[in-house]
Structure 1
Protein backbone atom coordinates (compact mmCIF):
# COMPACT_ATOMS: atom_id res chain seq x y z
CA UNK A 1 0.00 0.00 0.00
CA UNK A 2 2.88 2.34 0.77
CA UNK A 3 4.30 1.69 -2.72
CA UNK A 4 0.89 2.28 -4.28
CA UNK A 5 0.51 5.65 -2.51
CA UNK A 6 4.00 6.68 -3.60
CA UNK A 7 3.16 5.82 -7.21
CA UNK A 8 -0.07 7.83 -6.94
CA UNK A 9 1.97 10.91 -6.06
CA UNK A 10 4.48 10.39 -8.90
CA UNK A 11 4.22 12.41 -12.11
CA UNK A 12 2.13 10.83 -14.84
CA UNK A 13 2.41 10.90 -18.62
CA UNK A 14 -1.00 12.48 -18.99
CA UNK A 15 -1.53 16.04 -17.83
CA UNK A 16 -2.38 16.22 -14.15
CA UNK A 17 -5.78 17.51 -13.12
CA UNK A 18 -5.85 21.16 -12.19
CA UNK A 19 -7.82 20.45 -9.04
CA UNK A 20 -6.45 18.35 -6.25
CA UNK A 21 -8.62 15.88 -4.40
CA UNK A 22 -8.10 14.52 -0.91
CA UNK A 23 -6.54 11.08 -0.86
CA UNK A 24 -8.12 8.83 1.77
CA UNK A 25 -6.96 5.37 2.75
CA UNK A 26 -9.56 2.74 3.59
CA UNK A 27 -8.28 1.86 7.05
CA UNK A 28 -9.81 -0.51 9.58
CA UNK A 29 -6.67 -1.28 11.53
CA UNK A 30 -3.88 0.56 13.31
CA UNK A 31 -1.22 0.04 10.61
CA UNK A 32 -3.46 1.40 7.85
CA UNK A 33 -4.52 4.33 10.04
CA UNK A 34 -0.82 5.13 10.58
CA UNK A 35 -0.22 4.90 6.83
CA UNK A 36 -3.14 7.25 6.22
CA UNK A 37 -1.66 9.68 8.73
CA UNK A 38 1.80 9.54 7.16
CA UNK A 39 1.04 9.38 3.45
CA UNK A 40 -2.51 10.54 2.75
CA UNK A 41 -4.96 13.27 3.56
CA UNK A 42 -6.94 11.06 5.88
CA UNK A 43 -8.69 7.76 6.44
CA UNK A 44 -11.98 6.07 5.72
CA UNK A 45 -12.71 3.30 8.20
CA UNK A 46 -16.03 1.51 7.78
CA UNK A 47 -18.23 -0.86 9.72
CA UNK A 48 -16.77 -0.08 13.12
CA UNK A 49 -18.18 1.48 16.31
CA UNK A 50 -17.60 5.05 17.53
CA UNK A 51 -14.83 3.78 19.85
CA UNK A 52 -12.77 2.99 16.75
CA UNK A 53 -13.56 6.43 15.32
CA UNK A 54 -12.12 7.98 18.51
CA UNK A 55 -8.96 5.86 18.24
CA UNK A 56 -8.59 6.74 14.56
CA UNK A 57 -8.95 10.46 15.32
CA UNK A 58 -6.29 10.22 18.04
CA UNK A 59 -3.91 8.39 15.70
CA UNK A 60 -4.53 10.69 12.73
CA UNK A 61 -4.31 13.92 14.68
CA UNK A 62 -6.61 16.90 14.30
CA UNK A 63 -5.58 17.97 10.80
CA UNK A 64 -6.35 14.83 8.81
CA UNK A 65 -9.72 14.08 7.26
CA UNK A 66 -11.67 11.28 8.92
CA UNK A 67 -14.67 10.04 6.93
CA UNK A 68 -16.44 7.08 8.55
CA UNK A 69 -18.56 4.54 6.70
CA UNK A 70 -21.59 3.58 8.82
CA UNK A 71 -23.76 0.63 7.84
CA UNK A 72 -27.40 1.55 8.23
CA UNK A 73 -30.64 -0.38 8.01
CA UNK A 74 -32.86 2.26 6.46
CA UNK A 75 -36.13 0.33 6.40
CA UNK A 76 -37.21 1.15 9.92
CA UNK A 77 -40.90 0.27 9.70
CA UNK A 78 -40.33 -2.84 11.84
CA UNK A 79 -37.75 -2.34 14.60
CA UNK A 80 -37.29 -6.07 15.28
CA UNK A 81 -36.72 -6.82 11.60
CA UNK A 82 -34.22 -3.95 11.39
CA UNK A 83 -32.34 -5.29 14.46
CA UNK A 84 -32.31 -8.82 13.00
CA UNK A 85 -30.90 -7.52 9.70
CA UNK A 86 -28.30 -5.49 11.61
CA UNK A 87 -27.33 -8.55 13.67
CA UNK A 88 -26.93 -10.61 10.48
CA UNK A 89 -24.63 -7.96 9.01
CA UNK A 90 -22.50 -7.80 12.17
CA UNK A 91 -22.40 -11.59 12.43
CA UNK A 92 -21.10 -11.85 8.86
CA UNK A 93 -18.39 -9.29 9.59
CA UNK A 94 -17.40 -11.02 12.82
CA UNK A 95 -16.78 -14.25 10.89
CA UNK A 96 -13.64 -12.55 9.55
CA UNK A 97 -10.87 -13.09 12.11
CA UNK A 98 -9.21 -9.71 11.50
CA UNK A 99 -12.53 -7.94 12.06
CA UNK A 100 -13.27 -9.85 15.27
CA UNK A 101 -9.75 -8.99 16.48
CA UNK A 102 -10.37 -5.29 15.77
CA UNK A 103 -13.59 -5.41 17.80
CA UNK A 104 -11.81 -7.25 20.65
CA UNK A 105 -9.06 -4.56 20.71
CA UNK A 106 -11.83 -2.02 21.35
CA UNK A 107 -12.59 -3.77 24.64
CA UNK A 108 -15.66 -5.79 23.72
CA UNK A 109 -15.56 -9.01 25.74
CA UNK A 110 -15.33 -12.36 23.95
CA UNK A 111 -18.83 -13.25 25.19
CA UNK A 112 -20.35 -10.09 23.62
CA UNK A 113 -18.56 -10.80 20.35
CA UNK A 114 -19.56 -14.50 20.28
CA UNK A 115 -23.18 -13.67 21.12
CA UNK A 116 -23.28 -10.73 18.68
CA UNK A 117 -24.81 -8.79 21.55
CA UNK A 118 -27.29 -5.95 21.25
CA UNK A 119 -24.79 -3.31 22.42
CA UNK A 120 -22.28 -4.37 19.77
CA UNK A 121 -24.93 -4.52 17.04
CA UNK A 122 -26.19 -1.04 17.92
CA UNK A 123 -22.65 0.38 17.91
CA UNK A 124 -21.79 -1.04 14.48
CA UNK A 125 -25.00 -0.81 12.43
CA UNK A 126 -27.35 2.15 12.75
CA UNK A 127 -30.93 0.90 12.79
CA UNK A 128 -34.29 1.62 14.34
CA UNK A 129 -36.19 4.86 14.06
CA UNK A 130 -34.63 7.94 12.43
CA UNK A 131 -33.70 9.43 15.83
CA UNK A 132 -31.79 6.26 16.80
CA UNK A 133 -29.92 6.31 13.50
CA UNK A 134 -29.16 10.01 13.95
CA UNK A 135 -27.82 9.29 17.46
CA UNK A 136 -25.36 6.73 16.05
CA UNK A 137 -24.21 9.26 13.45
CA UNK A 138 -23.84 11.87 16.20
CA UNK A 139 -21.74 9.43 18.26
CA UNK A 140 -19.26 9.08 15.38
CA UNK A 141 -19.12 12.85 14.93
CA UNK A 142 -18.56 13.33 18.67
CA UNK A 143 -15.77 10.73 18.51
CA UNK A 144 -13.95 12.81 15.90
CA UNK A 145 -15.35 11.98 12.47
CA UNK A 146 -15.45 14.86 10.00
CA UNK A 147 -18.04 13.07 7.86
CA UNK A 148 -20.24 10.03 8.26
CA UNK A 149 -21.16 8.16 5.09
CA UNK A 150 -24.36 6.14 5.38
CA UNK A 151 -24.01 2.72 3.77
CA UNK A 152 -27.38 1.06 3.18
CA UNK A 153 -27.35 -2.69 2.57
CA UNK A 154 -26.17 -3.62 -0.91
CA UNK A 155 -28.33 -5.79 -3.10
CA UNK A 156 -30.33 -8.44 -1.20
CA UNK A 157 -33.70 -8.04 0.39
CA UNK A 158 -35.29 -6.81 -2.84
CA UNK A 159 -34.20 -3.21 -2.20
CA UNK A 160 -33.47 -1.22 -5.31
CA UNK A 161 -31.57 2.06 -5.61
CA UNK A 162 -34.62 4.31 -5.59
CA UNK A 163 -36.05 2.56 -2.52
CA UNK A 164 -32.74 3.13 -0.71
CA UNK A 165 -32.64 6.77 -1.79
CA UNK A 166 -36.20 7.26 -0.56
CA UNK A 167 -35.36 5.72 2.80
CA UNK A 168 -32.27 7.94 3.15
CA UNK A 169 -34.43 10.97 2.32
CA UNK A 170 -36.75 10.00 5.18
CA UNK A 171 -33.76 9.99 7.54
CA UNK A 172 -32.54 13.42 6.45
CA UNK A 173 -34.68 15.56 8.81
CA UNK A 174 -33.45 13.63 11.87
CA UNK A 175 -29.85 13.72 10.66
CA UNK A 176 -29.90 17.45 10.01
CA UNK A 177 -31.19 18.36 13.51
CA UNK A 178 -28.49 20.12 15.54
CA UNK A 179 -27.31 17.96 18.43
Structure 2
Protein backbone atom coordinates (compact mmCIF):
# COMPACT_ATOMS: atom_id res chain seq x y z
CA UNK A 1 0.00 0.00 0.00
CA UNK A 2 2.86 2.40 0.56
CA UNK A 3 4.89 3.60 -2.37
CA UNK A 4 8.47 2.98 -1.29
CA UNK A 5 9.78 6.06 -3.11
CA UNK A 6 7.32 8.41 -1.36
CA UNK A 7 7.20 6.54 1.95
CA UNK A 8 3.86 8.14 2.62
CA UNK A 9 0.35 6.87 2.06
CA UNK A 10 -1.91 9.17 0.12
CA UNK A 11 -5.48 7.98 0.19
CA UNK A 12 -6.35 10.32 -2.68
CA UNK A 13 -3.57 8.92 -4.90
CA UNK A 14 -4.51 5.41 -3.89
CA UNK A 15 -8.20 5.88 -4.71
CA UNK A 16 -7.28 7.57 -7.97
CA UNK A 17 -4.86 4.92 -9.21
CA UNK A 18 -5.22 1.59 -7.48
CA UNK A 19 -8.47 1.23 -5.50
CA UNK A 20 -9.73 -1.44 -7.87
CA UNK A 21 -6.59 -3.55 -7.44
CA UNK A 22 -6.56 -4.16 -3.70
CA UNK A 23 -9.01 -5.13 -1.02
CA UNK A 24 -8.28 -5.25 2.69
CA UNK A 25 -10.93 -7.36 4.36
CA UNK A 26 -11.96 -9.02 7.58
CA UNK A 27 -15.19 -9.41 9.54
CA UNK A 28 -15.37 -5.59 9.90
CA UNK A 29 -15.59 -5.15 6.14
CA UNK A 30 -18.69 -7.30 5.64
CA UNK A 31 -21.91 -5.37 5.05
CA UNK A 32 -25.46 -6.25 6.15
CA UNK A 33 -25.94 -8.41 3.04
CA UNK A 34 -22.77 -10.45 3.69
CA UNK A 35 -20.79 -8.78 0.89
CA UNK A 36 -17.32 -7.27 1.22
CA UNK A 37 -17.44 -3.48 1.43
CA UNK A 38 -15.51 -2.04 -1.56
CA UNK A 39 -12.32 -0.14 -0.77
CA UNK A 40 -13.76 3.27 -1.65
CA UNK A 41 -16.66 2.68 0.76
CA UNK A 42 -14.18 1.61 3.44
CA UNK A 43 -12.38 4.89 2.75
CA UNK A 44 -15.66 6.77 3.28
CA UNK A 45 -16.08 5.13 6.70
CA UNK A 46 -12.50 5.90 7.68
CA UNK A 47 -12.35 9.48 6.43
CA UNK A 48 -15.66 10.45 8.04
CA UNK A 49 -14.57 8.78 11.28
CA UNK A 50 -11.15 10.48 11.34
CA UNK A 51 -12.57 13.89 10.48
CA UNK A 52 -15.36 13.65 13.08
CA UNK A 53 -13.86 11.61 15.92
CA UNK A 54 -13.49 14.72 18.11
CA UNK A 55 -16.92 16.10 17.18
CA UNK A 56 -19.87 15.78 19.49
CA UNK A 57 -21.89 13.39 17.32
CA UNK A 58 -22.78 9.72 17.47
CA UNK A 59 -21.45 7.95 14.40
CA UNK A 60 -23.42 4.72 13.83
CA UNK A 61 -20.38 3.30 12.00
CA UNK A 62 -17.75 4.18 14.63
CA UNK A 63 -16.93 0.59 15.68
CA UNK A 64 -16.83 -0.56 12.07
CA UNK A 65 -14.52 2.31 11.08
CA UNK A 66 -12.18 1.57 13.99
CA UNK A 67 -12.15 -2.11 13.01
CA UNK A 68 -11.35 -1.32 9.38
CA UNK A 69 -8.70 1.19 10.44
CA UNK A 70 -7.07 -1.52 12.56
CA UNK A 71 -7.14 -3.89 9.58
CA UNK A 72 -5.44 -1.26 7.42
CA UNK A 73 -2.93 -0.64 10.20
CA UNK A 74 -2.11 -4.35 10.41
CA UNK A 75 -1.76 -4.48 6.63
CA UNK A 76 0.64 -1.53 6.58
CA UNK A 77 2.53 -2.79 9.62
CA UNK A 78 3.13 -6.19 8.02
CA UNK A 79 4.27 -4.44 4.85
CA UNK A 80 6.80 -2.45 6.88
CA UNK A 81 8.31 -4.88 9.37
CA UNK A 82 11.12 -2.40 9.93
CA UNK A 83 10.02 1.20 10.33
CA UNK A 84 11.57 3.55 7.80
CA UNK A 85 13.33 6.59 9.24
CA UNK A 86 10.31 8.83 8.69
CA UNK A 87 8.20 6.47 10.87
CA UNK A 88 10.53 6.77 13.87
CA UNK A 89 8.53 9.53 15.58
CA UNK A 90 5.24 7.74 15.03
CA UNK A 91 3.78 5.75 17.90
CA UNK A 92 3.37 2.03 17.19
CA UNK A 93 -0.41 2.15 17.28
CA UNK A 94 -3.30 2.56 14.88
CA UNK A 95 -3.86 6.12 16.17
CA UNK A 96 -0.24 7.09 15.56
CA UNK A 97 -0.14 5.53 12.13
CA UNK A 98 -3.45 7.01 11.00
CA UNK A 99 -2.24 10.56 11.47
CA UNK A 100 0.99 9.73 9.64
CA UNK A 101 -0.56 7.67 6.87
CA UNK A 102 -3.46 9.99 6.13
CA UNK A 103 -1.68 13.35 6.13
CA UNK A 104 -3.49 14.35 2.94
CA UNK A 105 -6.79 13.91 4.79
CA UNK A 106 -6.00 16.84 7.06
CA UNK A 107 -4.27 18.87 4.34
CA UNK A 108 -7.39 19.29 2.22
CA UNK A 109 -7.80 22.99 1.36
CA UNK A 110 -11.36 23.39 2.69
CA UNK A 111 -11.39 22.15 6.28
CA UNK A 112 -14.37 22.49 8.61
CA UNK A 113 -14.31 25.48 10.99
CA UNK A 114 -12.69 24.94 14.41
CA UNK A 115 -15.81 25.90 16.38
CA UNK A 116 -18.79 25.17 14.13
CA UNK A 117 -22.04 27.06 14.65
CA UNK A 118 -24.18 24.22 13.28
CA UNK A 119 -23.96 20.76 11.71
CA UNK A 120 -25.32 19.65 8.35
CA UNK A 121 -25.31 16.71 5.92
CA UNK A 122 -24.38 16.95 2.25
CA UNK A 123 -26.58 14.70 0.07
CA UNK A 124 -26.05 14.46 -3.70
CA UNK A 125 -22.75 16.14 -2.84
CA UNK A 126 -21.20 16.38 -6.29
CA UNK A 127 -17.85 18.10 -5.82
CA UNK A 128 -18.99 19.99 -2.72
CA UNK A 129 -20.54 23.33 -3.70
CA UNK A 130 -23.27 23.05 -1.04
CA UNK A 131 -20.66 22.13 1.57
CA UNK A 132 -18.47 25.08 0.61
CA UNK A 133 -21.35 27.51 1.14
CA UNK A 134 -22.38 26.02 4.51
CA UNK A 135 -18.78 25.80 5.78
CA UNK A 136 -18.32 29.47 4.87
CA UNK A 137 -21.34 30.20 7.09
CA UNK A 138 -19.65 28.33 9.97
CA UNK A 139 -21.17 24.86 9.55
CA UNK A 140 -19.60 21.43 9.92
CA UNK A 141 -20.50 18.62 7.54
CA UNK A 142 -21.11 15.38 9.47
CA UNK A 143 -22.15 13.19 6.53
CA UNK A 144 -21.72 13.35 2.77
CA UNK A 145 -23.12 11.12 0.05
CA UNK A 146 -22.37 10.92 -3.69
CA UNK A 147 -22.57 8.03 -6.14
CA UNK A 148 -20.30 9.38 -8.92
CA UNK A 149 -16.74 8.05 -8.48
CA UNK A 150 -15.05 11.03 -10.18
CA UNK A 151 -16.99 13.51 -8.05
CA UNK A 152 -15.97 11.52 -4.93
CA UNK A 153 -12.29 11.97 -5.82
CA UNK A 154 -12.67 15.72 -6.26
CA UNK A 155 -14.70 15.97 -3.06
CA UNK A 156 -11.97 14.11 -1.17
CA UNK A 157 -9.26 16.38 -2.60
CA UNK A 158 -11.23 19.46 -1.52
CA UNK A 159 -12.54 18.39 1.91
CA UNK A 160 -10.66 15.31 3.10
CA UNK A 161 -13.81 13.14 3.16
CA UNK A 162 -14.68 10.37 0.75
CA UNK A 163 -18.48 10.64 0.44
CA UNK A 164 -20.57 7.59 1.20
CA UNK A 165 -22.32 6.03 -1.80
CA UNK A 166 -25.86 6.05 -3.15
CA UNK A 167 -28.21 7.65 -0.59
CA UNK A 168 -31.17 5.67 -1.94
CA UNK A 169 -29.67 2.50 -0.40
CA UNK A 170 -30.55 1.62 3.19
CA UNK A 171 -26.92 0.72 3.95
CA UNK A 172 -25.93 4.31 3.16
CA UNK A 173 -28.89 5.87 4.99
CA UNK A 174 -27.90 3.88 8.09
CA UNK A 175 -24.58 5.76 8.22
CA UNK A 176 -26.22 9.18 8.82
CA UNK A 177 -25.50 10.31 12.39
CA UNK A 178 -28.64 10.00 14.52
CA UNK A 179 -28.31 13.36 16.23
TM-score (norm 1): 0.31
Higher strand share: 1
Higher percent of residues as helix: 1
Normalized against structure 2, the TM-score is what?
0.31
Give the structure with higher Rg (CA). Answer: 1
